[in-house]
Amino acid sequence: MTKLNVLIVDDSAFMRKLISNFLQEDSRIEVVGTARNGIDALNKIKILNPDVVTLDVEMPEMNGIEALKRIMSEVPRPVVMLSSTTKEGAENTLLAIQHGAVDFIQKPSGPISIDLHLIKNEIVTKVLNAGRVNIALLKKPLKIQETITSRFVDYSKIELESNRSIKKIVCMGTSTGGPRALQQVLTEFPRNYPLPIVIVQHMPAGFTKSLANRLNSLCEITVKEAENGEFLKPGTAYIAPGGYHMKIKKIGTSFAVNIDESEITNGHRPSVDVLFESLSEIKGIQKISVIMTGMGTDGTYGLKKLKETGQAVSIAESQDTSIVFGMPKSAIETHLVDRVESLEDIASTILSLT
C-alpha cells in the first residue's frame, strides 16, 4: 500500500519532532519533511509534493492562515490545522476551515504542548482521514443563492408569533467539512423560517460557540449554541455545544433542549445518533433529517430509529459534493434515505418539505 506523505509545519522544533514521531509510528504514514513557517512550507510543498500538510496557526513571518490561503491557491492539497484552545484560536480555526482546511486539532496546552501525547491518536486519525478528502471541492467557492427569499414563500412574523405549536423539526448531522456545508445550507433559509433546526457538528468544546456566532453573522435566521433547558423557537438553528450530547424533549406542547455529558456514543460527543434517537421518541411531530459530509457512520443508527416512527423524511448529501462521503454514504446504504441531494440543493429541498 502506498504511504501517505506528510509535511509538518510548526515554528517550534520541539513540536515538529513530536508530531513527526507520532505520525512515523503508523506504518501508513511517511513524514517527508518539516517546515518552520508559512514561507518555508510553500517552498517545501513545491519540492516534496506531500499528500497532506499539518499546519500550525500561530507562526512568525507567515502565519498559518496566510500560508493556507497561498497553499490552496498555488499548490492545493488537504491541510490539517493545529490550533490553541483560546477563543482567538477557535475563531482562527473557523477562518482556516473557511479558506479550505480539511480539519483541525486542538493543542492541549498552548502553542508548545509538552502533553501532545494526549492527542496522539487524534493526530494520526485526522491526518489519515485528510488523505481521503475530495480536494477539488475544498477549492470550489460556495454557491450561495443571494435571492433565496424571493424564490420561496416568505413567512410573516405575525404568523410565526401566533403559531406557537411546532409541527415539524429539522435535524442535521455533520462532521469533517461540516462548517462549510452548514454555511451553504443555513444561509439560504429565509428570515422568518417557521421551523426550529437542531444541529450536531462534531467539534470539541470551545469551538461550537465561535461557529454559531460566525454562522449567525451570515444568516437571516438566528444561529446559536444550544443551552440546556431552552425551548425551541421557529426560525432558530441550535448547534450542540462541543463535548456535550444534545437531546430534544417534549414538555407539554413545547420542545426543550437537554444538554448532558452522558457516555460518548459512536466515538462522538455530541453525537448525531443521540440527537436523532431523542427525536424518534417524540410522537406526533414530523422530522426532516439531514446527514451531510463527514467521516464515519454517526447518524445512521439515529436515522433508523427516526424511520421506525414513520414520521421522518430523510435527506443525505450526494457523493458529488461531500468533502468526505462517509456519514452520508452510511446513511444511504440503509435504503432509508428519501432524497440524495447536492449541497447546493439541500436548503431548497428542506424548504419544499416545510
As annotated, the active-site residues are 175, 202, 298
Q: What's the rounded Cα separation, in Å, for the pair 57 and 249?
A: 39
Closest CA to 173 of 351, 37, 300, 261: 300
Closest CA to 80 of 108, 45, 46, 55: 55
Tell me whether strands 236-239 and 197-201 are parallel, antiparallel or unpaired: parallel
Place of cell 446513511: 331
Q: What's the rounded Cα separation, in Å, for the pair 68 and 57?
A: 9
Closest CA to 89 of 118, 58, 68: 58
Q: How far is CA 247 from CA 152, 198, 207, 305, 336, in A?
A: 30, 9, 19, 14, 22
Show the 3-state SS of 31-78: EEEEECCHHHHHHHHHHHCCCEEEEECCCCCCCHHHHHHHHHHHCCCC
Show the 3-state SS of 246-263: EEEEEECCEEEEEEECCC
237's enclosing H/E stretch is strand 236-239
